[in-house]
């Protein structure tokens, strides 16, 4: 290799410039580390760059779903709504990049082609598809837990004469649905958000539903200036309170520490109603055991089914929209646009795929239950190959050529959700094995960034070259993740947490449901004990 051809040497290569990648880059600067973030998209923003379907917005309140890493940044930024929309979130991501002067160390439109661990030099050798090359002591896969869209392989899909759109890879130019017959497959968070918006423009909307969602109101609206002022008056205090919550949000409405089974029916109903008026995930905290006890959970589920039946006028449609699995087992959907009311519109219809499965796609539309539904556009709101899909598709090779495709074939092995054995000096962020999926993800991102940065600094001080999980520690962590889930209602349905939405994916509960504070404490203990459970060389 001649000198001019030599790959640039970094302390840390960050793959992805969404919120995780940008937070890590900012922290590296403060530590004097030489770090670079590469991003496949032509923009920062990650999920908020790609998921630009009409109606896309965050389901955690904006004042919480934002960085606390810079006091000026959090004071200056003004959110217009209680739950920010995708365009505003993307503007925020760009503002963060500018405000923290991150762009000079971000390479956009630069897709990682391969990353290989070099044992001799204890560095990662990485190359992008544009030919750029780097060597890095550490690598951070800030690639996002929900970044590999999943599309079903319906027979005949290629023959469909109309347009096929996926919510997670939405076109950048506006799509005009005026006068069109639109079909939507999928009723998770993406489907629930896009369906009411499509119904405003399209001639008809036919929703193909395999499993109904539990949908709670957001009560979204313009941000209350008085509330904003009160939070900004003590933003650090507000952040500290949110970090004490299991989900890293919702400190104003903590769960009631009483069981739904221990109160009289009238009181129970009154408390559910009160939380329904608050909106969002607060509903799951009406009683402390909603997610822990099936009987308590069933009471909350029935309350929501009553709301569905009271809203949707056609009894058959209402019945099809009523879920029959534990509430919260699949991620709760938070609605800002009148999801259930949409089914009262004369041009919106629901096809229950449990009774009439999709047989095939034709040139004209979808055939289900023997009926051909005539469509101009097919919107796939079918979700993601979550938590593992992106890494398993990448050419990342660790010690002795280990790949995620092979190491994770039975589920995403990891320790603390932060590293995987066989991949020294490679960190994960907001992925499997951590509580990120059940939290305000920004809180998790900031936690992971802090833990990783502290670890790198600790290793630097001691002149250590590599870190990776020990075999026993990793096995014990995987068992802990599973046992923790067993104490909840989370194994009682088919969710992306279990990989159940992707045919052939192993059924393994991937995220940790211990609650953020317990997880953060565990991570801190491991660090305080000299990175207990890790092998350091």
- Contacts with ligand N01 by CB under 6 A lie at 58-59, 146, 152, 167, 185-191, 193, 210-211, 331, 334, 353, 381-384, 494, 496, 501
Distance between first and last Cα of the chain: 28
Smallest distance from the beta carbon of 86 to ligand N01, in angstroms?
9
Whichever of 188 and 411 has its CB closer to ligand N01, that residue is: 188
Residue 455 burial (10 A CB sphere; 0-12, 13-18, 19+): buried
Smallest distance from the beta carbon of 38 to ligand N01, in angstroms?
24
| Two structure tokens written together for 390 | 């992106």
For residue 375, which of 393, 362, 384, 388 has the smallest C-alpha distance? Answer: 362
Whichever of 463 and 503 has its CB closer to ligand N01, that residue is: 503
Smallest distance from the beta carbon of 167 to ligand N01, in angstroms?
6
Query: What Å distances lie between residue 276 and 300, 326, 329, 334, CA to CA?
Result: 11, 17, 18, 11
Whichever of 62 and 425 has its CB closer to ligand N01, that residue is: 62
| Residues 6+ away with beta carbon under 8 Å from 488 | 291, 292, 513
Whichever of 335 and 450 has its CB closer to ligand N01, that residue is: 335
DSSP SS3 for 266: helix
Smallest distance from the beta carbon of 501 to ligand N01, in angstroms?
4
Smallest distance from the beta carbon of 500 to ligand N01, in angstroms?
7
Smallest distance from the beta carbon of 55 to ligand N01, in angstroms?
9
Whichever of 291 and 381 has its CB closer to ligand N01, that residue is: 381
Whichever of 26 and 330 has its CB closer to ligand N01, that residue is: 330
Whichever of 301 and 455 has its CB closer to ligand N01, that residue is: 301
| Region for 16 from its dihedrals, namely left if φ exceeds 0, alpha if ψ lies in -120 to 50, beta otherwise | left
Smallest distance from the beta carbon of 298 to ligand N01, in angstroms?
19
For residue 455, which of 513, 401, 532 has the smallest C-alpha distance? Answer: 532
Whichever of 196 and 424 has its CB closer to ligand N01, that residue is: 196
For residue 458, which of 526, 412, 508 has the smallest C-alpha distance? Answer: 526
Smallest distance from the beta carbon of 77 to ligand N01, in angstroms?
19
Whichever of 123 and 190 has its CB closer to ligand N01, that residue is: 190
Position with the least CB separation from ligand N01: 188
Smallest distance from the beta carbon of 353 to ligand N01, in angstroms?
6
For residue 350, which of 377, 379, 314, 374 has the smallest C-alpha distance? Answer: 314
- Residue 532 neighbours by CB distance under 10 Å: 11
| Residues 6+ away with beta carbon under 8 Å from 17 | 25, 37, 38, 39, 41, 44, 45, 46, 97, 102, 106, 108, 142
| Residues 6+ away with beta carbon under 8 Å from 179 | 202, 203
């Amino acid at each position: 290799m001649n000198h001019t051809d030599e790959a640039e040497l970094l302390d840390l290569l960050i793959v992805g410039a969404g919120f995780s990648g940008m937070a890590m880059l900012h922290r590296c600067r403060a530590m004097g580390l030489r770090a670079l973030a590469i991003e496949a998209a032509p923009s920062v923003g990650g999920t908020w760059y790609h998921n630009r379907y009409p109606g896309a917005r965050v389901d955690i309140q904006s004042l919480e779903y934002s960085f606390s890493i810079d006091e000026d940044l959090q004071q200056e930024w003004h959110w217009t709504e209680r739950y920010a929309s995708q365009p505003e979130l993307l503007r925020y991501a760009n503002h963060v990049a500018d405000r923290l002067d991150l762009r000079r160390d971000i390479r956009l439109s630069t897709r990682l082609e391969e990353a290989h661990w070099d044992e001799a030099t204890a560095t990662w050798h990485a190359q992008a598809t544009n030919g750029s090359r780097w060597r890095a002591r550490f690598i951070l896969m800030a690639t996002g837990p929900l970044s590999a869209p999943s599309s079903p392989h319906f027979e005949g899909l290629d023959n469909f004469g109309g347009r096929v759109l996926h919510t997670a890879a939405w076109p950048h130019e506006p799509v005009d649905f005026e006068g069109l017959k639109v079909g939507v497959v999928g009723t998770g968070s993406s489907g629930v958000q896009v369906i009411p918006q499509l119904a405003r423009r399209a001639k008809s909307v036919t929703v193909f539903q395999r499993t109904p969602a539990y949908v709670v109101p957001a009560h979204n609206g313009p941000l209350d200036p008085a509330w904003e002022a009160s939070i900004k008056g003590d933003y650090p205090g507000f952040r500290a309170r949110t970090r004490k919550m299991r989900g890293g949000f919702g400190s104003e409405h903590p769960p009631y520490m009483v069981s739904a089974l221990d109160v009289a029916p009238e009181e129970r109903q009154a408390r559910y109603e009160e939380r329904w008026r608050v909106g969002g995930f607060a509903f799951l905290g009406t009683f402390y055991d909603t997610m822990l006890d099936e009987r308590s959970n069933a009471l909350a589920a029935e309350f929501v089914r009553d709301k569905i039946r009271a809203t949707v006028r056609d009894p058959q449609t209402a019945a099809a929209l009523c879920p029959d699995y534990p509430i919260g087992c699949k991620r709760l959907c938070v609605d800002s646009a009148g999801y259930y009311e949409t089914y009262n519109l004369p041009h919106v219809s629901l096809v229950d795929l449990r009774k009439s499965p999709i047989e095939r796609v034709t040139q004209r539309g979808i055939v289900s239950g023997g009926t051909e539904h005539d469509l101009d556009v097919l919107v796939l709101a079918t979700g993601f190959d979550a938590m593992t899909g992106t890494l398993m598709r990448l050419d990342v090779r660790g010690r002795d050529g280990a790949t995620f495709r092979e190491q994770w074939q039975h589920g995403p092995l990891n320790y603390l959700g932060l590293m995987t054995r066989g991949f020294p000096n490679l960190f994960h962020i907001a992925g499997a094995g951590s509580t990120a999926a059940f939290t305000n993800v920004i809180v998790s991102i900031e936690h992971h960034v802090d833990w990783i940065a502290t670890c790198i600094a600790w290793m630097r001080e001691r002149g250590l070259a590599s870190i990776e999980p020990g075999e026993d520690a990793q096995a014990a962590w995987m068992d802990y993740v599973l046992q923790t889930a067993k104490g909840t209602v989370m194994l009682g349905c088919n969710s992306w947490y279990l990989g159940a939405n992707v045919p052939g994916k192993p059924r393994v509960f991937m995220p940790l449901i211990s609650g953020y504070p317990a997880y953060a404490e565990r991570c801190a203990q491991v660090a305080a004990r000299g990175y207990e459970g890790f092998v350091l060389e």
